[in-house]
Structures are given as C-alpha cells and as structure tokens.
Chain A
Amino acid sequence: MNARNVGFVYRKELTEWLRDRRTLISTVVIPLLAFPLMMVGFSALAIMLVGQAKKETPKVMVLGGEDSPAVLEGLHKLDNLEIVPSTPNWKEMISNKEIRAAVAIPDGFQAALATGEAKTVLIYFYEGELKSSFGADRIEKFFKDYRDRVVRDRLAAKNLPETILKPFEVKQQNVAPPEKVGGAAFGGFIGYMVILLCMTGAMYPAIDLTAGEKERGTMETILSSPLARLDLVLGKFLLVLSASLATATLSVISMGSSFSILGKFHAFSGGQGADLHLQIGVKSAAAVFLMALPLAVLFSALLLTIALFAKSHKEAQSYLTPMTFAVVIPAVASLMPGIELSPKLAVIPILNTSLICKEIVGGTYHWNYIALIFLSTCVYAAAALFLATKMFQRESVLFRS
C-alpha cells in the first residue's frame, strides 16, 4: 500500500464527487432541509388536523330513551355535542359521516336505575375514524359521570362514605431522569436513523465508483495507471466512507435541531409531552457517532464489494436494494419493546449498534457492552474491507461479461 497513491485516488474521487450536483442534493440538501421540513411539517399538519377534529361539535343521535327524560335532558344540555333527531338509517349515517356516533338508551332505563336493575347503554361509533371516536368518547364520559353521580347518591342515601368503593389509591411514579424518558422514546429511533443513513449515504458513491466506472468505461483507464489496485480500492473505499459519515452526521444534526425546535414549541404537548426531553447531549451524540464509525466502515466496504460485481448502475441498484432490508430489519428489531442487550445480541452486527445507541441516548453507558460491540463490529468491518480488496484483484469480477 502506498499512502500517497491512496491519497491521489481519494482526492480524485472526492473532487469528482463534490462536483456532482446529485451528490450535493442527496448528501447535503436532503438531510439538512428535508428532515426538518418533513418533521415540522408533519407534526404541524397532525396538530392542525387533531385540533380541527376537537373543535368540531360532533353530531350524535340518541336512539330510544323517551321514558328516561332526565338522561335526555342531560344529553341535550351538553354544549360539546349536537343531538340530531333519530332516524332508522343511523348506521348508514355514521358510515357516511353525516353523524359521528349514536347512543341507544335501553327501555325503562331511568326506572331500572330506581329499582337497582343494571342495564347497558350502547354507544355506536366508526372505529378508526378520529372524529367518530371523539363523539363516542364524549357520550361515554357523560354516562360515566352520570353513573358516578348515581353511585354517590346511593351511598349518601345509605349514609356510607365514598371510600367504601375505593379503600386505597394506586399510582405509578416515574423515577427515570427526564433525559432517560426522552431516550427511551427516541433513543432507538436515533440509532436506527444513524444506521440507515450510514448505509444510504454510502450507497450512491459505492455504485458510482465501481459499476458507474465500468459503465463509463473508465475502469480500464484507471487500471492502466501506475496506481496499485490496493491503492485504488482503498482510495475509493475512503471516499465511500466519507460520504456515509457525512450523510449520517448532517442528518443527525438536522434531526437533532428539528427535534429541539419541536420540543420548544411543545408540539407533542398531549399528556406527557411537556416534560419530554428531546435534546441529545453532545456527549451521547459523540458516543453514538463513535459506535456508528465501524458500522460505516462495514457498510462502505460491503457495498463497494457488492456493487463491484455489477456492470451498470441499474444492475448495482438491484443488487443493493435487498441489502437495505438486511440493514433495516436488525435496526428495526432493536425498536421492539422488551428487547435488551445480552452477550449474544452484542455480537450480532447492526442490531448490537442499534441497541447500544438506544442505551447511550438514554444516558446509560454499559462499558463492557460498548467495548464488545465496538470491537466485534471492527472485526466485521475489517473482514469486509479485506474482501473488497480481494475482489478488486479478481479479473473475473472487474471484467465480468
């Protein structure tokens, strides 16, 4: 190996890569602009849609209940529900979104209450339809409140305290630091994104530098230069690695900033959203980057090797698409609830990095696992790089016909 020659190849590829407008778009513009736009845009849209749905007063229909005037009156008094006259085709009307829900009050409901007989109030709604659920929820809330009132009245009538139904309270209390709460929710996601972007960032240059070179017919010219094949493959590999890391870094920066913007605006402010910490500390960001480094080496070497077999861009793409699944599946597996690091999982490439990133973002540093995962990924990466250099020596691969 001649470091000077590797440098020549790297410089050549880098200059060409930077001059390519497609590169700039896929590595710089998309991660920097599209991610924040997509995230802010999506959440803004979601908030807007939910808000609109909440603002609308759902039309609901009451079926029966003529003999329970007190209940009917209570329902009519609600200002967050609009009661429409009942018709026999209420089911169809719910499906057609003309009304959002319907409630069937059983015959003799009020009378049954007096005698202590338990009847069932049925609420009809369209599952999966946001506005229909809102309507049904409001009806349900009304009847639950009504039930509580009945219970309280009955207890009062018999001179019994309310604690007879609730002898004690049960409550869950969070002890994880706020950082950890955010980490659990988003740690897995960030690890997953970093892994995926390391891969997609490497993909285009890996194809262009091998199959693309063959397609343009410049493979022969570069092979007839005094640069050794080892220098060539290393120079190309370094460029692919740079692209992979650049894409991942830029995307993490832009994702991090869009998360923090969203956090500031309390975009997720439904329930626990307000105390959700979305900022990632510099320390954990650096640690995630460090863990992704050997993985980026592994991807770059592997993609370069596979793309080298192809004769054209098109062929290379069809080889590399299945690779995406091979990466996405273990990366997603780490997001499944209940999956935790174990010595066995720590040597499964991709999955291990994804799991440790989740831990790191969550603020936990298992040093033994970090060392094991880093080293095992380094071993896989070295093997992949070795394979790439071997394939570059093979005539049957370089000049496949």
Chain B
Amino acid sequence: MSADPLISVRSLSKHFRTFERREGIVGGLINLFHREYRIVKAVDNITFSIGRGDMVGYIGPNGAGKSTTIKMLTGILVPTSGEILSNGFVPWRQRAAYVKTIGVVFGQRTQLWWDIAVIESFKLLRRIYDVSQRDFDERMELFDQVLGLRAFLHTPVRKLSLGQRMRCDLAAALLHNPPILFLDEPTIGLDVVAKDHIRQFLRAINERYKTTVLLTTHDLDDIEQLCRRIMIIDRGALLYDGPLAGLKERLLRTKQIKFILRDGEQAPRLAAFEHSLSASAQNGLLHLERLDEMTCRLRFDRSSVSTSDLIRRILAAVEVRDFVIEDEPIEEIVKRIYSGEVFAAPPGPQP
C-alpha cells in the first residue's frame, strides 16, 4: 500500500429496507395489507484504502456485501453513511465525471449490445467516453494482441461464448484507459483456459498501465494468481484485510477430491480404503465422506499430503469413473475464520 491511497473508504455502510414475507396463502394475503420491514445491513461500517497500482482481491460468501460495495464504489448506489474518495472524486456526487476514470465489469452481465456486432458497441463506447480515434485504434491493437479479439469483433454478442464475451467486456471497460478497474466476479462460469486468458490480461494491464484493480471473486485461484492483498467480507463486515502471503497457508489449507465410483461393486474396496486412510492420518486432516451411493469426497490438509499422492492411492484402491479436485469453498473458510481456527485472536479489520 502506498502512502497516498487512490481509493479511500471510511466507515462505509449501506442499509436496505426489505419486508419480511409471511409464509403460505394466508401469510401472502396478510402481506398485502400489513408489511413488516427489516433493515438489512448489506455493508456495515467498513474502512479500507487501496494504493495506486494495487491489485486487491475482495472475497466473501454470497450475500456478504461484495457487490454492494462495488456498486457504491462505482457510484451506482449512494451509501447510507460513511465516505468514499476514489481518484479524487466522491463517486455518487460526481458520478458522470468520475466514471470516465474507472472501468467496471460485472461478471454475469454485459455492457455490450446483445444483438449487434461487438465492434459497434466499442465504437459507441468510444464516443460516450470521448476517446480519440488514435487512442482507440492503439488500444484495440493491444487488446487484440493479448485477448485475441479480432476473430469475433464482427460477431453479435449473443453468439459469443461466455469466455469470448468476458474478453470483450474487459476490453470495453478498458477502452478509455481508466486508472481504476472494478471487477465483479470476472471469471465466474468460465473454463480453465478462459480463466487463464483473463488473468494473464489483468496482469498485463496492471504491469503496463499500473491500473489499480479491485476484484471480487469466488475463485481462490484468481486471488492466488493475481493479488498480493485480500479483503474478506462477511455479513457486511470486513473480517480480514491484509497480505495474502501470511494467510495463504492457513486459509487455503484444505483441498478436496470428489470421485465417482465405477460401479456398485466398489463398496467393499472403498471400505478397506477408508480403513487404510484412518490408519495413515497422522496429525493432518484426512477425511472421507460418502456424498451419495457412488460419490465420495476426500478432504485433506494439503500441507501434510500431496494431491498427486492421494490420487495415486485412490486409483490403486478403487475403480473410479471420474474425479475433480477443488479448493475448500469460501463459505467453509469463512466459517473457519469465525470459529477462530484461522486467527488466534477474534478477527477484525486490520489497517
């Protein structure tokens, strides 16, 4: 973090008023006449700052307040209380001028026109953002080199694959070369190759233009490959804000292998395998669960066992039709943070 932050957020809160729905038909009828409202603290008193050129990961379970924060940072929502100063602007007050200095990508939604060739959207965005023709051509050249856009520039957006569309959306968000880029789940739903493409591109623009990036994600690989710093939010409050390095071992400790048995005959062999596992688990975690008749999940501590070793052992013990290796879901990590497993002391936002 540099001494002079590009984005500074102080005591930021956003509360929504929602009404409690009663259940059933009678409840539905009562709802029509009498509503009980409840205040939901989507973001509750968070403070952080981000320096120029930083790439920060913003993670948390669903409904934790990530998107609400991004919407306030991009000037779409007005905070209930607190302050934001981003690139010298107060987002919601000087929105039109401010958004010309930021780029925003919302993972599952596109800002490109659905039925029209990609290039037409780019041309319109060029005019909306007042980008000169020379700059436009130059950037399109660069985007093409890194993202390989040329092949589908004249295809309507609805015909693009999700990965192609995401590449186009990223290019669209960066057309005016903003110093700040907000990404809301940029890799959601993408395959491994497409994810890699996006990550490479983000690294490239961060190095070349010193673009400051704040990205929310569910994918811990995004964080590992892109960010040196992470912020964890849950139920509107910041649980952790600091370097990834120290936390990585503690946070990303558990992995899981899900495997599907070839047939019902494997049951006795699986039981024997389970027995051998419990014998070999010394101090680390090594836990096998049956998810259903054919599917099993093996959770393990990756600091004590290597993934390849385990796979070899599984394949030797039972006949397997298919398997996947996954990180522990973020919800589980947050649960562990709460239970005090990750931090010795109760968690709190760190400067």
Chain A, range 358-399, C-beta contacts under 8 Å to B: 395-396, 399
Indicate if B106 sits at the interface (CB-CB under 8 A).
Answer: yes
One of B68-76, B224-232, B286-294 at the interface:
B68-76
Cβ A226 vs Cβ B116 within 8 A: no
Q: Does A45 contact B (CB under 8 A)?
A: no
A222 touches B115 (CB 8 A): no
- Of B28-36, B122-130, B202-210, the segment with at least 4 beta carbons within 8 Å of chain A is B122-130
State in angstroms the CA–CA spacing of A16 and B121 once bound together: 11
CB distance from A214 to the nearest CB of B (A): 10
Instruction: Decide if A223 touches B76 in the complex (CB within 8 Å).
Output: yes
Which of B96-104, B138-146, B262-270 lies on the face that meets chain A?
B96-104
Alpha-carbon distance A228/B125, docked complex (angstroms): 14
Query: From residue 215 to 244 of chain A, which have CB atoms closer than 8 A to chain B?
Result: 216-218, 220-228
Question: CB distance B96 to A16 under 8 Å?
Answer: no
The reply to whether the CB of B338 lies closer than 8 angstroms to some CB of chain A is no
B116, A221: Cβ atoms closer than 8 Å: no
The verdict on B132 contacting chain A, using a C-beta distance below 8 Å, is no
B96 & A226 in contact (Cβ 8 Å cutoff): yes
Known interface pairs A224-B74, A224-B76, A228-B96. Does A8 touch B128 (Cβ–Cβ under 8 Å)?
yes
Expressed in whole angstroms, the minimum distance between the Cβ of B36 and any Cβ of chain A is 16
Interface residues of B in 79-129 (CB under 8 A from A): 95-97, 99-100, 104, 106, 108-111, 113-116, 120, 124-125, 127-129
Asked if B323 is at the interface of the complex by the 8 Å CB criterion, the answer is no
Q: Which residue on A lies nearest to B158, using beta carbons?
A: A19
Residue from the list A19, A220, A226, A396 in contact with B76, Cβ < 8 A: A220
Shortest distance between the CB of A271 and any CB in chain B (Å): 53
1/0 contact string of A195-226 vs chain B (CB within 8 Å): 00000000000000000000011101111111
Other-chain residue from A16, A217, A395, A399 in contact with B113 (beta carbon distance below 8 A): A16
Give the residues in chain A near B74, CB-CB below 8 Å.
224
Q: Specify which of B100, B115, B125 is in contact with A20 (CB 8 Å cutoff).
A: B115
Pick the residue among B77, B111, B114 that contacts A395 (CB under 8 A): B77
Asked if B116 and A395 sit within 8 Å, CB to CB, the answer is no
Cβ proximity bits B4-41 to A, threshold 8 Å, 1 near / 0 not: 00000000000011100000000000000000000000
| Contact between chains at A220 and B106 (CB < 8 Å) | yes
Nearest CB of chain A from residue B178's CB, rounded to whole Å: 11
| Whole-angstrom CA separation of A241 from B113 in the bound complex | 21
B111 and A12 within 8 A (CB): no
Closest to B97 in A: A226
> Is B271 positioned at the interface, with any CB of A under 8 Å from its CB?
no
B residues near A11, Cβ cutoff 8 Å: 124
Selected from B71, B78, B124, the residue in CB contact (under 8 A) with A8 is B124
Complexed CA–CA distance, A222 and B172 (Å): 12
Q: Is the CB of A221 within 8 A of B111?
A: yes
A226 and B124 CA atoms in complex are apart in Å by 12
Specify which of A5, A16, A217, A227 is in contact with B109 (CB 8 Å cutoff): A217
List, in ascending order, chain B residues with CB within 8 A of A221's CB: 104, 106, 109-111
Total A-B Cβ pairs within 8 A:
63
* Cα-based distance from A95 to B124 in the complex (angstroms): 71
On chain A, the residues within 8 Å of B106 by CB distance are 217, 220-221
Q: Does A401 contact B (CB under 8 A)?
A: yes
Q: How many of chain B's residues touch chain A, expressed as a range?
A: 20 to 34
**Known: A15-B116, A221-B104, A399-B77. Is A226-B99 also a contact (CB below 8 A)?**
yes
* A264 to B78 alpha-carbon distance, docked (Å): 64
Q: Which residues of A contact B97 (CB under 8 A)?
A: 226
Q: Once bound together, how far apart are the Cα atoms of A218 and B110, in whole Å?
A: 6
Interface of A is mostly: helix
Interface residues of A in 224-282 (CB under 8 A from B): 224-228
* Chain A contact residue count (CB 8 A cutoff): 24
**Is the CB–CB distance between A218 and B76 below 8 Å?**
no
Interchain nearest-CB distance for B258 vs A (Å): 30
Per-residue CB contact flags for chain B residues 237-278 toward chain A (1 = under 8 Å, else 0) read 000000000000000000000000000000000000000000
Q: When chains A and B are docked, how far (Å) is the Cα of A16 from the Cα of B129? A: 20
Q: Bound state CA distance, A16 and B124, in angstroms?
A: 13
Chain A residues with CB under 8 Å of B114's CB are 16, 216
Closest chain-A Cβ to B285's Cβ sits at a distance in Å of: 39
Contacts of B111 in A (CB 8 A): 218, 221-222, 224-225
Query: What separation, in Å, do the CA atoms of A19 and B104 have in the docked complex?
Result: 26
CA distance A266 to B115 in the complex (A): 47
| A102–B234 CA distance with the chains assembled, in angstroms | 88
* Residues of chain B lying within 8 A (CB to CB) of residue A224: 74-76, 99, 104, 111
Q: Name the interface residues of A44-71: CB closer than 8 Å to any CB of B.
A: none
Cα A11 to Cα B113 with chains together (Å): 12
Residues of chain B lying within 8 A (CB to CB) of residue A395? 77-78
CA distance in complex: A222, B132 (Å): 21
- A50 to B164 CA separation, bound complex (whole angstroms): 63
Choose one: B17, B115, B128; the contact of A227 (CB below 8 Å).
Answer: B128
> Do residues A218 and B99 form an inter-chain contact, with CB atoms below 8 A?
no
Which single residue of chain A is at the shortest CB-CB distance from B76? A223
Q: Do A217 and B108 have beta carbons less than 8 Å apart?
A: yes
From residue 6 to 52 of chain A, which have CB atoms closer than 8 A to chain B?
A: 8, 11-12, 15-16, 19-20
From residue B71, how far is it (CB to closest CB) to chain A in Å? 7
CB contacts (< 8 Å) of B120 on chain A: these are 15
Bound-state Cα–Cα, A226 to B95, Å: 7
- Least CB distance, A3 to chain B, in whole angstroms: 14
Given contacts A220-B76, A223-B76, contact A5 B128 (CB under 8 A): yes
A222 to B120, CA, bound (A): 16
Hey, which chain B residues are within 8 Å of A401, CB to CB? 16, 18
Chain A residue nearest to B172 in the complex (CB): A221
Q: How far is the CA of A223 from the CA of B77 in the complex (A)?
A: 10
Inter-chain contact B115/A19, CB cutoff 8 Å: yes
Residues in A with CB closer than 8 Å to B71 are 220
CA distance A15 to B104 in the complex (A): 23
4 tightest CB-CB pairs across the interface, nearest first? A217-B109, A221-B111, A19-B115, A224-B104
For the A-B complex with A221-B110, A228-B95, A228-B96 known, give 12 more contacts whose Cβ atoms are closer than 8 Å.
Answer: A8-B127, A15-B113, A15-B116, A15-B120, A16-B115, A217-B109, A220-B109, A221-B111, A224-B99, A225-B111, A227-B128, A395-B77
20 residue pairs bridging A and B, Cβ less than 8 Å apart: A8-B124, A11-B124, A12-B113, A15-B120, A16-B113, A16-B114, A19-B115, A216-B109, A221-B106, A221-B111, A222-B111, A224-B75, A224-B104, A226-B97, A226-B99, A226-B100, A228-B95, A396-B17, A399-B77, A401-B18
